[in-house]
Amino acid sequence: MAGRRKAILDPSYEAVVVGAGNGGLGAALQLALKGVKTLLLEQHNVPGGFATSFVRGRFEFDASLHELADVGSADNAGSLRVFLDEAGTDIDWVAIPEAYRVILTDENLNVRVPFGIEELIDTIESEVPGSRKAMTKYMELCKDVNGALGILGGIADSAKPDRMISDFMSFVRDSDNPIEEIASIVRKLMNLLRVISKTVDQVSDEYKLPDRARAILYPYWCYLGLPMSRLSFTSWGAMLISYMTKGAYVPRMRSQELTMAMESRIRELGGRIEYNTRVEEILVERGKVTGVRTSQGDEIRTSQIIANVSPTLVYNDLISPKTEVPKIALKNVNARKHASSCIVVYMGLDTTLDELGLTDYGYFISKNMDTDEIYDSTYVLDVPIMQATTCLNNVIPDCSPPGTSIVSITTLFSMDSWSDVTPKDYFKVKNRIANGLIDQLENGTGANIRDHIEEIEVATPATFARYTRSYKGVVYGYELDPWDGVIARVVTKEDEKYIKGLEIGGGFSFMGHGYNVSLLSGRAAALSTLKEMGVKS
């Protein structure tokens, strides 16, 4: 390069975090909080990975966020808010007023679903008279499962995951604790055990939930991305309870506020962040990490690495030399199935949501709520039959200039159906699908979108691959079948750690995908790293 040597980095760090998505940022933040000399490396030139925003004309779009679970209000804080507050990040959270509106065009169903377990049951009862009893029991079960998960690993409810189990043990041992509470804990655990290997459909059948009740209850499935005939009930139940009891939030300045707030805090705490720096090799010697090599030619020594990268890529592409990759690690990642990618249509409209008659933030629009049929439709290079659409001005009225609004349509999309698209056809194909999605939105809501499009951008699996380099543009990590659900992953986490000093955080790690769990799994990875380093918590 032009008469100039490359600016270099320090040759060694106590810990290196690979990737500045939610997981990597959560990890680096936790490490920096403990004063660990941390280097966070990111191949893109801003933090966030999927959790980013972009500007077009007068509009700023969120690349991915619909809503964040596990934030909660200041006095009913979820573990994510607790962590980020304690870490000293500056984020302006805005509450989403209601859970969603579900519109099923073939079923003549159009229902707004509020937050709150009672409110949910009431809403379904008024649409499906006679469902109250079954729904109440079902939600009790979800609560128990969520509570049990919280107790067992702090996965859903606790801000201090690593302490929960010992707390539980001492809680049980402590004779002062009332027997009723111990009994309730035991009940929760028993309930969890009962459904631990079941799918959502199996449990709904067992509880005799009417079809129409399921149709109203199920839309959130698309945040987990697996049809209810396969989705692990525990993952589902925990998510449902989290949304219903803690509500949902977005940062005022799109998800980029969340990720830049973490970035800023990491730097304040002395962590170092380098962008435009892709880790090309994770160096391993005799089963232990020793450092990384980057696209900038850095070679950095470290004994602790947290990868905000899918294990599939870690074991196939990153670990060097290849002889250090155990066969079992490759089998492990091959056994698991990559989940969906997405297509998103971002639109800046030159009219208000009011004028369009769009009254809600989140719309789930589909022909029906047959999740198998919907899932299958994402495996065809065509318009999938379900979309999840957000109308941001209904949460943040001034997120765009007066008289305008931001509407984003998202649909799950299997990356395999995108595999045959050639560069030549690319723009045509993506516009055809975007067109179909806009039709679907107009048909479902009656809003005239088309005449008001001032800015539009369409993201496909290739777009996500471009910005995050995720394998095949996968957004949703690995599929959450019961055998690879959260419980199964937590339980096997230690046994399936194949390289000493290497932790995985983010959407491909043990907690599953989504903003909150990706971020907190990065943090959990950092807690393991700290433990390994002997840093006191």
Contact status, residue 280 vs residue 319, Cβ threshold 8 Å: no
The per-residue DSSP string of 388-413 comes to EEEEGGGTSTTSS-TT-EEEEEEEEE
484 binds another protein (CB under 8 A): yes
Other Cβ atoms within 10 Å of 525 Cβ, number = 30
Nearer to another protein, 316 or 359 (CB): 316
524 binds another protein (CB under 8 A): no
Backbone angles phi, psi at 32, to 5 degrees: -65, -35
The window from 28-36, 69-77, 210-218, 480-488 that contacts another protein (CB under 8 A) reads: 480-488
165 binds another protein (CB under 8 A): yes
Q: Which of 15, 18, 415, 504 binds another protein (CB under 8 A)?
A: 415
Instruction: Look up tokens 């002889």; give the residue.
Output: 323
Nearer to another protein, 68 or 111 (CB): 68
492 binds another protein (CB under 8 A): yes
For residues 47 and 66, give the distance between their C-alpha atoms in angstroms, rounded to a whole number.
18
Binding footprint of another protein, residue count (CB under 8 A): 98
Q: Which of 88, 182, 355, 483 binds another protein (CB under 8 A)?
A: 483
The window from 178-186, 213-221, 257-265, 440-448 that contacts another protein (CB under 8 A) reads: 257-265
Q: Which of 173, 286, 424, 536 binds another protein (CB under 8 A)?
A: 424
User: Please, what is the minimum distance in Å from the beta carbon of residue 109 to another protein?
Assistant: 29
Nearer to another protein, 364 or 471 (CB): 471
537 binds another protein (CB under 8 A): no
Please list every residue from 208 through 247 that binds another protein, using CB under 8 A: none
Contact status, residue 80 vs residue 71, Cβ threshold 8 Å: yes
Helix axes 79-86, 254-268, angle to 10 degrees: 40
For residues 99 and 223, give the distance between their C-alpha atoms in angstroms, rounded to a whole number.
13
Please list every residue from 265 through 284 that binds another protein, using CB under 8 A: 274-277
User: Please, what is the minimum distance in Å from the beta carbon of residue 164 to another protein?
Assistant: 8
328 binds another protein (CB under 8 A): yes
Please list every residue from 65 through 124 that binds another protein, using CB under 8 A: none
299 binds another protein (CB under 8 A): no
Contact status, residue 104 vs residue 95, Cβ threshold 8 Å: no
261 binds another protein (CB under 8 A): yes
166 binds another protein (CB under 8 A): yes
User: Please, what is the minimum distance in Å from the beta carbon of residue 74 to another protein?
Assistant: 20
For residues 84 and 30, give the distance between their C-alpha atoms in angstroms, rounded to a whole number.
10
433 binds another protein (CB under 8 A): no
User: Please, what is the minimum distance in Å from the beta carbon of residue 108 to another protein?
Assistant: 30
Q: Which of 260, 309, 339, 395 binds another protein (CB under 8 A)?
A: 260
List residues bridging with 232 in a β-sheet.
199
List residues bridging with 364 in a β-sheet.
102, 388
User: Please, what is the minimum distance in Å from the beta carbon of residue 151 to another protein?
Assistant: 11
Nearer to another protein, 108 or 166 (CB): 166
Contact status, residue 131 vs residue 125, Cβ threshold 8 Å: yes
418 binds another protein (CB under 8 A): yes
List residues bridging with 41 in a β-sheet.
18, 274
For residues 410 and 240, give the distance between their C-alpha atoms in angstroms, rounded to a whole number.
20
Contact status, residue 102 vs residue 215, Cβ threshold 8 Å: yes
Please list every residue from 302 through 321 that binds another protein, using CB under 8 A: 312, 316
343 binds another protein (CB under 8 A): no
Q: Which tokens hold the place of 257? A: 């506020």
For residues 127 and 121, give the distance between their C-alpha atoms in angstroms, rounded to a whole number.
10
Contact status, residue 365 vs residue 440, Cβ threshold 8 Å: yes
